[in-house]
Structure 1
Amino acid sequence: MKTLIWQGIAFQSLEYFSIKENEEVSTVTSKIIGCYENNMYAVDYQLIIDPDWNIQEFTIESEINTVKNTLTGKKHQDEWEIDNVINPDFKGFNFIDISLTPFTNTLPINNLKLIENKSQEIKVIYIDILNNLVKPVTQQYTKTGPYTYHYDNLQTDFKSDIVVDENGLVVNYPKLFDKIAEM
């Protein structure tokens, strides 16, 4: 089991994160609290991940300015059931990207096993918690060094160089997240 704390720079947050791994699945539990653009928020999320770092199931419970919301997702072969309804927009997707945490970058980083100077384009279920939005997004990861990845959102102009540790967990995501504690 690994536990750590990320500080959200842009989103003025703290995230208390833990991952428990066994041979069959990894289970992630996390709590985030923060304040962004007059929105006070709290988020609890749970993820089930297979040994290849593909997301299998998620539950995200959020409260923004006292308004509560729950979002669930479960993978059935290559289809996604989002809030108990199969959503054809996400067929064949292996990853999610939750807006308020750097952890979901670990999923493709560990799954793709890129060698230096190689890139891979992926499709993700993007979950924007503060705007209550779920949509398909195309992203690209390029391994630029032993622990550095260039992230590129192919539908916007957002790009960043992410530094990870030996486990693929984000250490520094410039202007967004920093790991500040680990056990």
Structure 2
Amino acid sequence: MKTLIWQGIAFQSLEYFNLTEDDKNFIVESRIIGSYEGKMYTVDYQLIIDLNWNILEFIIESEVNTVKNKLTGRKLQDEWEINNVINPDFKGFPFIDISLTPFTNTLPINNLQLAENDSQEIKVIYIDILNHLVKPVIQQYTKIDKHTYHYDNLQTDFKADIVVDENGLVVNYPGLFEKIAEI
């Protein structure tokens, strides 16, 4: 369906991203390499997403300065099994947010189907690859126009206006990511 490359501006990275669709799911396979604040890293992630843009499973394999890490997650109704253990901190969380990719913004953008000027608060499992953190975060998305969404992390001061294409994939995330190639 889509193959593209994102350049990580702040995180000095490149991401080679593939999104395919079968009869019941979207499948994402992606590889990121980069360097940030003295940390060299590589990330391979695979996601299984239903056709309503709900995340069902993820596998994230990373290496930061030669230290390898693997994180897995599976949604079991309204609970999350993270590395084979049910984590009650994430009960009822519909989305994930992987720190080094703009793709996980596509999940709520496409799932929420907001009307122009509407906004919605969401709970996400935030996965900070470089610091090996997994934590709950509350975010808000507001649809500004057909291709622009205002993102607000409600627990920090971080805000951004994200521009997406007709498929909800990030074209420009100011200061963080930019799409530089697509086929």
Aligned letter for 1:52? Answer: N
Q: Which runs of 5+ in 2 are unaligned?
A: none
Find runs of 4+ consecutive structure 1 residues off by over 3 angstroms. Answer: none
Inter-partner Cα distance in structure 1 for 2:83 and 2:180: 33
Alignment of 1:47-62 (within 5 A): 47-62=47-62
CA shift, 1:56, in A, is 0.3
Query: Is 1:70 aligned with 2:66?
Result: no
Inter-partner Cα distance in structure 2 for 1:146 and 1:51: 20
Aligned letter for 1:39? Answer: K
Normalised by the size of structure 2, how large is the TM-score? 0.99
Normalised by the size of structure 1, how large is the TM-score? 0.99
The equivalent residue for 1:43 is 43
SS of 2:14's partner is strand
For these two proteins, the number of residue pairs brought into alignment is 183
Inter-partner Cα distance in structure 2 for 1:23 and 1:148: 29
The equivalent residue for 1:93 is 93
CA shift, 1:22, in A, is 2.2
CA shift, 1:23, in A, is 2.7
Aligned letter for 2:74? Answer: K
The equivalent residue for 1:10 is 10
The equivalent residue for 2:34 is 34
Alignment of 1:29-178 (within 5 A): 29-178=29-178
Inter-partner Cα distance in structure 1 for 2:94 and 2:50: 10
Q: Which runs of 5+ in 1 are unaligned?
A: none
Inter-partner Cα distance in structure 2 for 1:19 and 1:161: 23
Inter-partner Cα distance in structure 1 for 2:136 and 2:21: 28
SS of 2:121's partner is strand
